[in-house]
Structure 1
Amino acid sequence: MFLEVYLIALSAIVIIALSFFLGWYINSKFGKNSIFVAKEEAKKILEDAEKEAKQIKREKLLEVKDEWLRKKQEFDNEVNTKRQKLQNHEKQLETREENLEKKFDVVLQKEKEVKEKEKYVDSLKVELEKKKLELDQLIAEQNLRLEKTAALTAEEAKKMLMENMINKAKSDAAQAIKEIREQAKIDAKKEAQKIIVQAIQRTAVDHSVESTVSVVQIQNDEMKGRIIGREGRNIRSFEAVTGVDVIVDDTPEAVILSAFDQYRREIARISLERLIADGRIHPARIEEVVAKVEQELDEEIQKEGESTVIQLGIHGMHPELIKHVGKMKYRSSYGQNLLQHSIEVAYLTGIMAAELRLDANLAKRAGLLHDIGKTIDKSTEGPHALLGYDLAKKYNEHPIVINAIGSHHEDIEMEHPIAALVQAADAISGARPGARREPLESYVKRLENLEAIAKTFEGVAKTYAIQAGREVRVIVEPDKVDDEFSDRLAADIAQKIQEEMEYPGQIKVTVIREVRKIAYAK
């Protein structure tokens, strides 16, 4: 504002200066009269400028004063507002302080009451201690009287009581377990039998017990000499290339091929038949024919695997796994053809899974591949279940299928009901009459192990393995094993057999407790 006044005054001075300059100029041009007139005009202009400057100054001063009054009013209002808030806070603090004082008084009162109660409790404790001492003294006197009356010490009586209670608890528990187990067996057995019988009835797969020899028919006995060759070179070459023993004996018009490996024996059989039909039998020709037959048999294995998965309605399986499925045709398990066994397990697992409302396709897939580990090269060590587990995992099989393969002999823990179905179907397929054969030595050893396991339990007098090892009868000492304990003993023996032995199907455990009382009439 003052700057504006200053500028106006400066402007007036400039105007006056210009007026003097103009007057001087006019005077020099027009004479003294013009100078006088100019001075008068300049004087008038100066007076007007001063008046205008004063007017502007007065207006600006009024504006500044109004602005100051307005700011002062706002400041006063803000101060009043804050003062009001501060007063409210002070009132709240005063109220809280009053409440705190009241609460403090209450706390002091409570403390006083607690101290009085503590004193009362202390007096009660003292009284209780006195009563306790009196009670202990009475109990000791009573125990002495009881010991004199019963002729037993307190420890002996306690021990006798505990033994009676333990025996009673065992008896009650055995009875309860027996009732629960019998009811569960009845319910579960009915449902399981229904599902298994339906699955078996709907599955009709032939069983064939594979032998370790193949017989090749020849036209005449003269061909035997050509097969043997000069100084036996042909037969030695044939055995070296195929890995099969060739038996040329007195059997008319027949040559016997012997080998445990069905795949190698099949290659040898086809190769020998072709060599006999061709008539050219020498080491070079033998190697050529055997190589060609191996190639053709590999192609047949792939086709067999593809045909099997199509037959079962399985899709999306890795080609390498399909090839291993084809190899099952030339593998055996306890004399049972592995491919036929796996197909049967696949059908049984699929049917049982459908009855239980599980994924039937996934179940068939797991059943087909459960023994896939048996097709791996024999040089790879390890249980076939774990070998199959690793193989299926390598080719990204479904996790449920992988677990079923690895757990069907309980090498790993089962994670899905389908794994249990695969294990059951495997047992059903292997337990069928004539499905498998077992060497005499291992059969006898299994019976001995069965009897030995049953004898390890306390109270067992004699054990007998009967029905070709499908049942073990356990005769117990009647004075050591009662009827209730017999039921639990049968379950314990069955559990131990299940954990320590491998066997086809199931083994029945029968516990016999017989009490004979003999008297003679004379």
Structure 2
Amino acid sequence: MDSSILTVIVAIVALLIGIVAGKFIFAKDTKRKVEEAENHAQNIIREAELRGETIKKEKELSAKEKFVQLKAEHDKEILERNRKMAESENRVKQKEGNINQKTEQLERQVKENDAIKQNLNRQLEVLNTKQAELEKHQEEHTRRLEKISGLTAEEAKSQLIEGLKQEAHSQALGLQQDIIDEAKQKANKEARKIIIQSIQRTAAEQAIENAITVFNLESDEIKGQIIGREGRNIRAIEAATGVDLIVDDTPEAIILSCFDPLRREIARLSLQRLVSDGRIHPARIEEVVEKTKRQLEEQIMEIGERTVIELGIHGLHKELVRLVGKMRFRSSYGQNLLMHSREVANLCAVMAAELGLNPKLAKRAGLLHDIGKVPDEETELSHALLGAKLAEKYGENPAVVNAIGAHHDEMEMQYVISPIVQACDAISGARPGARREIMQQYLQRIKELENLALNYNGVEKAYAIQAGRELRVIVEADKVTDNESEKLSFEIAQKIQTEMTYPGQIKVTVIREKRAVNVAR
């Protein structure tokens, strides 16, 4: 509507402009232009009216459509609201129904509980009555028992309590024994675990030492020079070194025989220098032997110092260091003493660390436990007691002194590391291949071990296995019971321990089985 008015106003303005402009135009065109302007104005007016009418109709149509749309949305919203209200009313009605049902159930339960309560009260009254009657009967029964037994109730109660005490005491003793057995089993299991871990974490070295040393020669002609005129050279060597020289038909070799490896080493080095020099006579032999002894002493000191440094042991007295180096030239059952002591030291350190003890102190005791086997002077003391005496003399820790002296049970164990050193010494000596025996002695020991078990009644067979470290005894089931087999195992072990000499330990296993054999024909 506003657009049509605006159009009319524009047309009127244009008409006025045309009128004003026509005054300034030439007179002959005034009339024509006025007519044209009027026509143009009328056209504009008609177009404006038509356009205004069209816009009016469009607006009316749009307003009607908008009204219809709003009405439809309003009706839809009303329907949705009515639906929700209906659902809410249904839920409320359902809840009311559930509440009514529960109320009815509760009312029924209350009534039932009242009935049950009344019933319980009646039963309780009956029970009280019966209890009163029972107490009367019990009192009467007690009086009769007192009359029959001649004991009062207090005396009978005392006897009963005493019997219960004895029974509880017996059960407690049995329980205590079970706990002790279980603790022993766990302790043995834990100890085996620690020992196995210690062995596995320590590298074992197997040394093979003999009582002889073979000295190789370039030719057999040198044998004559070594023997000398009428054997004076060989006698001088034997006198200076304390070693027996065996010159036989063995080509290009001389055998040096002596129980002391240190003397054999002195003789070997001396012979090596004499043969290299070519001058072999008694005076020269004594000079070379003395020089070799001094050089070997220096070598012993170097070996001891190197061993102590490698093991990380500090503050050891020089004499003890020298004795440690001297162990390199000593063997026991074919096992080199220094290698054995090093292994025991490492085992002691590992085991002490597993048990939460001082590993350095245990390693020190393990290294020095056999220093009594290499004394400078022969004594009547055992090597364990002599080693403890030397360690005490050179200012070692009392725990180390006690561990050295007690590792063969010749001294009372006063410190925790003492059994550790003893166990590690046994482990090192009992390793397969660690020690060597002469075949004949080995076979003889195995045979004696089996014969010892066969002398017992009921023993059917006996086998020494694992290089003589275990004895398996098979008994006849008809002659030996299970309890007797345990006793037999203990007796055989004790007899082996008292009558036989052996390295390490021997496990005795008694096997008893019952077989029933029949043949179907």
| CA 1:217–1:485: 2 relative to 1, 3 Å | closer
1:424 to partner: Cα distance: 1.4
Q: Establish whether residue 374 from structure 1 lines up as the match of residue 373 from structure 2.
A: yes
Rounded to whole Å, the distance in 2 between the matches of 1:216 and 1:261 is 16
Residues 315-464 of structure 1 aligned to structure 2 (within 5 Å): 315-377=314-376, 379-440=378-439, 442-444=441-443, 446-447=445-446, 450-451=449-450, 454=453, 463-464=462-463
User: What residue in structure 1 maps to residue 308 of structure 2?
Assistant: 309
Stretches of structure 1 lacking an aligned partner (at least 5 in a row): 1-130, 132-168
| CA 1:520–1:343: 2 relative to 1, 3 Å | closer
Rounded to whole Å, the distance in 2 between the matches of 1:199 and 1:520 is 53
Rounded to whole Å, the distance in 2 between the matches of 1:451 and 1:205 is 30
| CA 1:388–1:189: 2 relative to 1, 3 Å | same
Rounded to whole Å, the distance in 1 between the matches of 2:335 and 2:355 is 29
The alignment-based identity, stated in percent, is 62
Rounded to whole Å, the distance in 2 between the matches of 1:394 and 1:442 is 39
1:383 to partner: Cα distance: 2.3
Question: Could you report, residue by residue, the CA deviation over 1:212-256 in whole angstroms, capped at 9, with x for unpaired residues?
Answer: 222223332222221111122111211111111222333333332
Contact 1:178–1:484 (8 Å) recurs in 2: no
Residues 88-99 of structure 1 aligned to structure 2 (within 5 Å): none
Rounded to whole Å, the distance in 2 between the matches of 1:403 and 1:486 is 38
Rounded to whole Å, the distance in 1 between the matches of 2:176 and 2:474 is 23
Rounded to whole Å, the distance in 2 between the matches of 1:178 and 1:465 is 33
Rounded to whole Å, the distance in 2 between the matches of 1:513 and 1:368 is 44
What code does the residue aligned with 2:243 have? Answer: V
User: What residue in structure 2 maps to residue 196 of structure 1?
Assistant: 195
1:339 to partner: Cα distance: 0.4
State the aligned residue count: 351
User: What residue in structure 2 maps to residue 208 of structure 1?
Assistant: 207
Rounded to whole Å, the distance in 2 between the matches of 1:494 and 1:288 is 56
| CA 1:176–1:514: 2 relative to 1, 3 Å | farther
User: What residue in structure 2 maps to residue 228 of structure 1?
Assistant: 227
- Worse-superposed segment, 246-255 or 450-459: 450-459
1:513 to partner: Cα distance: 1.9
| CA 1:334–1:358: 2 relative to 1, 3 Å | same
Normalised by the length of structure 1, the TM-score is 0.61
User: What residue in structure 1 maps to residue 251 of structure 2?
Assistant: 252
| Higher relative contact order, chain-length normalized (CA < 8 Å, sep 6+) | 1
Rounded to whole Å, the distance in 2 between the matches of 1:381 and 1:452 is 34
3-state DSSP class of the match of 1:433?
coil
| CA 1:498–1:418: 2 relative to 1, 3 Å | farther
Rounded to whole Å, the distance in 1 between the matches of 2:447 and 2:184 is 29
1:518 to partner: Cα distance: 6.3
What code does the residue aligned with 1:505 have? Answer: G
1:441 to partner: Cα distance: 5.3
1:348 to partner: Cα distance: 0.4
Rounded to whole Å, the distance in 1 between the matches of 2:447 and 2:388 is 32
Question: Could you report, residue by residue, the CA deviation over 1:325-362 in whole angstroms, capped at 9, with x for unpaired residues?
Answer: 11101100101110010011000001100110111111
Rounded to whole Å, the distance in 1 between the matches of 2:502 and 2:273 is 42
| CA 1:178–1:220: 2 relative to 1, 3 Å | farther
- Worse-superposed segment, 378-387 or 361-370: 378-387
What code does the residue aligned with 2:384 have? Answer: A
What code does the residue aligned with 2:234 have? Answer: I
User: What residue in structure 1 maps to residue 267 of structure 2?
Assistant: 268
Give the superposed CA RMSD. 3.1
| CA 1:178–1:438: 2 relative to 1, 3 Å | farther
1:514 to partner: Cα distance: 3.1
Normalised by the length of structure 2, the TM-score is 0.61
1:495 to partner: Cα distance: 5.2
1:399 to partner: Cα distance: 1.4
Rounded to whole Å, the distance in 2 between the matches of 1:414 and 1:297 is 37
User: What residue in structure 2 maps to residue 24 of structure 1?
Assistant: none
Residues 1-80 of structure 1 aligned to structure 2 (within 5 Å): none
Rounded to whole Å, the distance in 2 between the matches of 1:192 and 1:298 is 42
- Worse-superposed segment, 441-450 or 235-244: 441-450
What code does the residue aligned with 2:251 have? Answer: P
Stretches of structure 2 lacking an aligned partner (at least 5 in a row): 1-149, 151-169
Contact 1:210–1:335 (8 Å) recurs in 2: yes
Q: Rg: which structure is higher? A: 2
Contact 1:178–1:487 (8 Å) recurs in 2: no
| CA 1:418–1:455: 2 relative to 1, 3 Å | farther
Question: Could you report, residue by residue, the CA deviation over 1:358-414 in whole angstroms, capped at 9, with x for unpaired residues?
Answer: 111110111011111110257322322122122222223211111111111112222
Rounded to whole Å, the distance in 2 between the matches of 1:392 and 1:493 is 38
1:185 to partner: Cα distance: 6.2
| CA 1:236–1:458: 2 relative to 1, 3 Å | same
3-state DSSP class of the match of 1:436?
coil
Residues 291-310 of structure 1 aligned to structure 2 (within 5 Å): 291-310=290-309
User: What residue in structure 2 maps to residue 277 of structure 1?
Assistant: 276
